[in-house]
Structure 1
Amino acid sequence: MHNKRKLRQGGYLAAVTAVVAAIVLLVNLIVGQLPSNLLEFDLSDHQLYTVSDTSVEFLSTLDQDVEIVVLAEEGSVDERIAKFLDRYAALSSHITVTQVDPVAHPSAAEEYDASADSLVVRCAETGKSRAIPFSDILVYDTMYYYMYGQYYETEFDAEGQLTSAVSYVTGDNDTVLYTLENHGESTLSTQVTDAIEKANLTLSGGVSLALDGGVPADCSLLISYAPTRDLTADELTLLEDYLDGGGQLLVLLAQTEESLPNWEALLASYGLTLADGYVADPQRFYQQLGSLYAIAPVLSTSSPVTSQFSDSDLTLMLNARGLTQAEELPEDVTVTPFLQTSSGAAAITADGTQTEGTYLLGAVCEKTDADGNAAGRLTVFSSASFVDDTVLTLLSNGVNLDVFLNAVTDGFEEVSNLSIPAKSLEITYNTIRNPGLWSTLFTAVIPIGVLALGLFAWARRRRL
């Protein structure tokens, strides 16, 4: 009887074990069929595979079918690109990913009008397509290669390139931007022009008001970047006529204290007055830069240009001219600040004269006609340093470029800022900048104390 009971128990345990093993096997088979975006967490440096809220929101509104063709030999696609594609496509039922091997299908490159090792984003409904070479996604430092003969990866731009391409093939954006010339203007940096193009805006070229006889008819937005010379009276009239006709002008003031009466007259016609000297802000400056003129502007939550940002988002502006809003605005003009100083700022001239107050560092001025229709939009940044290459590099984790692009696109109803920056592949080192009391405590006092306690305990045990 005892043996029979043992036999029954053994059979029962064996049956339970078999059932559990079958369940585990079945669960593994089911889980194995799930997409990788549901099974893997993004633990990579710089969150390479995490899609930003901007793209998530854009893809949630996508209502046209888009095909992403991976035009590459099977097995040759970088794992990072393939993994990101899986996550990206999973965000919309309207996106499909197709693999095409140009080696097995030699006519594929001609059919898709793209070279091998690229992604082709296309929309059958609009008939538009865009090719993205892998070299635009995994960006290499070319100078490093020329100097050392080795490839050095610097950026991963999968999300920015894909979102820009999807927006392009599904949209109908004909927004054209021009830059003003012949007033000592500077040239927009590559970072800025790349971001503008990624937002699917057309940066057409330069405009000389004197030589071209005015602003081109297809100009959606005219940009004046750091003008150091004044407008002529005729040029001022041409700009006023352009704005009165519903045009849009974005000005980034140069880092100069020179008087430019006609530029200042244009600002005054939109309710802004330029203060003398540069603005210093003891309450909002970067101490590590050692200058009260290196300001972290306050971002306004009431302006569409900066409403998406929080107090923790940083911007940097150097040698800014202060702007003040007229107590009585011109008729039918509204001013909406988006960047400003703290209440403890002061405009300081070369001779040391200080005028304290709160100054505007960025504002949108809009004029309407008698019928309430838009009759001109003037956007002003009080320092061209806001999108200077040096500043963008120095504050790489800041939102300067995002704010600038928001200011560029905010005046257009059918255009939004979908220019997403690339993610860095640079190695991050745990270095301590500006070490002080706390860093000394954690890097020296505590380790030495722990070591001393250990030696004391060891010596005491030796004596015992």
Structure 2
Amino acid sequence: MKIKEILPRWSNKKIKNGSYSIGMTAFVIAVIIVLNLIAGELPSKYTKLDMSDEQLYSLGSQTEQIAEALDKDVTLYYIAESGNEDPTLKEVLDRYADLSGHIKVVQKDPVLYPNFTSQYTDDKVSSNSIIAVCGEQSKIIPYNNIYETSINYNTYSYETTGFDGEGQITSAIAYVTSEGLPTMYVLEGHNETQISASMQEAIEKENIKTEDLNLLTADQVPDDADILFIYSPQSDLSSEEKDKIITYLKSGGKAFITSDYTGKDMPNFEAVLQEYGVQTKQGVVVESDANHYAGNPLYLVPNVSSGSDITESLTGRYTLLFGAQAVEKLEDARTGLSIQNLLTTSDSAYVKEDVENMQTLTKEDGEEEGSFPLAVAISETVEASTEEEEVTEAQSEAESQGLTENESETGTEGTTETAAETVAETDTDTETETEAAADTDAGKSKETRLVYISSGLMFDDQLNSKVSGANMELFTNALGWMCDHEVSVSIPSKSTQIEYLTLTAASARTWSIVTMILLPVLALATGGVIWFKRRRR
């Protein structure tokens, strides 16, 4: 075949079409590569959707706020052997790294770096544990703290019930970036309710240390007390204990106080509350509004205030209290006290005073009815105490006298000590400035803060679980408010089991009518209409 016969087959048009196809293919491939590179730089929350029912990989608003507020670098060391990583935990860590430029995640293989953890602890660190580090501060998160387990009594084996990765990691970040840990003293000696394991875990997540305190043997509430916790005492305080608590509060102290109905007179306990403008009414509160109780009128589902830092995160959620008492604001309370309701009943609640002889939960003649506060937050600005001011004045007077004597002696010694005088005056000026600054600090005002809840049972594990941790979140929010934490770490673990649906009595009745009556009737009516139309044909 001649070349001239072959050439027509390869016309210019075909060559152009082929070149165009090749060029477009190359262009599309280049675009795909660029898009992949861009996607690789995007945060994982945009490129990897959390499809888990429990939203195990998603990070909440509290974590985002803490990450945004970081001004220090935090490194999260993930101690895991290559190929044996926990995929859920690794994905969560990747999302932390995407939150802030101050957070870096570094995996350390214990096989390659066997001595790495020894610089942070002498104990053995289990695989898939995390070490949070910021400067000289560090905190270890053991792997067994990340997953919650409980025994299954049907199989007598342990099973995983919750994933607490976010709560533990966020708490560790807050811990290593904080300047110092606040201390909460827990009052004992009056048969107080014991702090449960879940409450202790919530306190630790808030990065607060706890110490026991017996005011019968202690001279005062310790100076390093950031919070005093009085957890539902079953017997009254002594007069001396009452005075020590009030003295502590008057100096700008903070207290979290709860009570449960005991049927006993507790005048000294009440005196502490009365000093801050509130007291409890005799008896327990009963709800008649079906939208404000769950199953039983003693299980109260109160209105949650939206105007407080303590309850802001609970907007649109339920809290649950049992056997609460009504809190009454005193008319003669000091004008400087700020008393804010946190939880209140409906307008149709009433008080049963004679609980021991109560025969019915329905309202009877003579029983007080209305909207009652069940939890309050109280604050008061206090100035430097008179004793502090007297000490400051005495120190200033002594310093002034000492300075006059020094000047007199210097005048008789002559001019040969001029240089020494200059040095002495400079030192004196420096000391005076330092003391003046100290005096200014001593004169600064402080703020007393107190939270009182009339049902300590609201922090019972069973009640807390029925509202998906909202009760415990209120507790940690209150601790954060008293410690001036910008963001409270009240992140509950994510359940890997059945979630409870909390319904008020009214909602339960409504859905019972819908599912047991309306839907069956609607189905029968629809079937009847269809049957009738077919029969007519």
- TM-score, normalised to structure 1's length? 0.87
Amino acid at match of 2:260: A
Question: Aligned residue pairs: how many?
Answer: 452
**Residue 159 (structure 1) aligns with:** 166
Secondary structure, counterpart of 2:273 in structure 1:
helix
Structure 2 counterparts to residues 44-443 of structure 1, below 5 A: 44-113=52-121, 115-117=125-127, 118-124=129-135, 127-141=136-150, 143-144=151-152, 148=155, 151-204=158-211, 206-283=212-289, 288-289=294-295, 291-310=296-315, 312-350=316-354, 353-369=366-382, 373-374=445-446, 376-396=448-468, 398-414=469-485, 416-427=487-498, 436-440=512-516
* TM-aligned CA deviation for residue 309 of structure 1: 3.3
Secondary structure, counterpart of 2:276 in structure 1:
coil
Would you say the 8 A contact 1:109–1:116 is kept in 2? no
* TM-aligned CA deviation for residue 8 of structure 1: 5.1
1:194-230 Cα offsets, whole Å, 9 max, x none, are 00111100012x2221122332222111111111211
Secondary structure, counterpart of 1:46 in structure 2:
coil
CA distance in 2, matches of 1:443, 1:137: 44
CA distance in 2, matches of 1:369, 1:325: 20
Would you say the 8 A contact 1:139–1:156 is kept in 2? yes
* TM-aligned CA deviation for residue 163 of structure 1: 0.8
Would you say the 8 A contact 1:102–1:108 is kept in 2? yes
Secondary structure, counterpart of 1:276 in structure 2:
coil
Amino acid at match of 2:371: T
State the superposition RMSD in angstroms. 3.2
1:371-411 Cα offsets, whole Å, 9 max, x none, are 79336433210111221222112222x52111111222212
Would you say the 8 A contact 1:175–1:201 is kept in 2? yes
CA distance in 1, matches of 2:337, 2:527: 69
Secondary structure, counterpart of 1:59 in structure 2:
helix
Secondary structure, counterpart of 1:292 in structure 2:
strand
Higher helix fraction: Structure 1 or Structure 2? 2
Amino acid at match of 1:373: S
Secondary structure, counterpart of 2:189 in structure 1:
coil
* TM-aligned CA deviation for residue 64 of structure 1: 0.7
Range moving further from structure 2, 384-393 or 327-336: 327-336
* TM-aligned CA deviation for residue 192 of structure 1: 1.1
1:227-268 Cα offsets, whole Å, 9 max, x none, are 121122222222222222222222101132322122222222
CA distance in 1, matches of 2:28, 2:378: 70
Secondary structure, counterpart of 1:336 in structure 2:
strand
**Residue 22 (structure 1) aligns with:** 29
1:451 to 1:177, Cα distance in 2 relative to 1, 3 A: same
1:292-346 Cα offsets, whole Å, 9 max, x none, are 2211121222322223432x21101111110111223225322122121222221
Secondary structure, counterpart of 2:473 in structure 1:
helix
CA distance in 2, matches of 1:293, 1:75: 54
Range moving further from structure 2, 87-96 or 277-286: 277-286
CA distance in 1, matches of 2:498, 2:349: 38
CA distance in 2, matches of 1:190, 1:416: 23
1:103 to 1:149, Cα distance in 2 relative to 1, 3 A: farther
Would you say the 8 A contact 2:292–2:345 is kept in 1? no
Q: Which has the larger radius of gyration?
A: 2
Secondary structure, counterpart of 1:47 in structure 2:
coil
CA distance in 2, matches of 1:349, 1:338: 23
Range moving further from structure 2, 251-260 or 414-423: 414-423
CA distance in 2, matches of 1:14, 1:236: 89
Amino acid at match of 2:319: T
1:154-208 Cα offsets, whole Å, 9 max, x none, are 111111111111111111133101111122211021111100111100012x222
CA distance in 1, matches of 2:130, 2:330: 52
Secondary structure, counterpart of 2:492 in structure 1:
coil
* TM-aligned CA deviation for residue 84 of structure 1: 0.8
Larger RCO: Structure 1 or Structure 2 (Cα < 8 Å, ≥ 6 residues apart)? 2
CA distance in 2, matches of 1:173, 1:112: 18
1:59 to 1:329, Cα distance in 2 relative to 1, 3 A: same
Would you say the 8 A contact 2:466–2:502 is kept in 1? no
Secondary structure, counterpart of 1:82 in structure 2:
helix
Would you say the 8 A contact 2:50–2:57 is kept in 1? yes
Unaligned runs of 5+ in 1: none
CA distance in 2, matches of 1:442, 1:17: 61
Unaligned runs of 5+ in 2: 1-7, 359-363, 385-443
CA distance in 1, matches of 2:291, 2:262: 20
Amino acid at match of 1:123: C
Amino acid at match of 1:92: S
1:428 to 1:329, Cα distance in 2 relative to 1, 3 A: closer
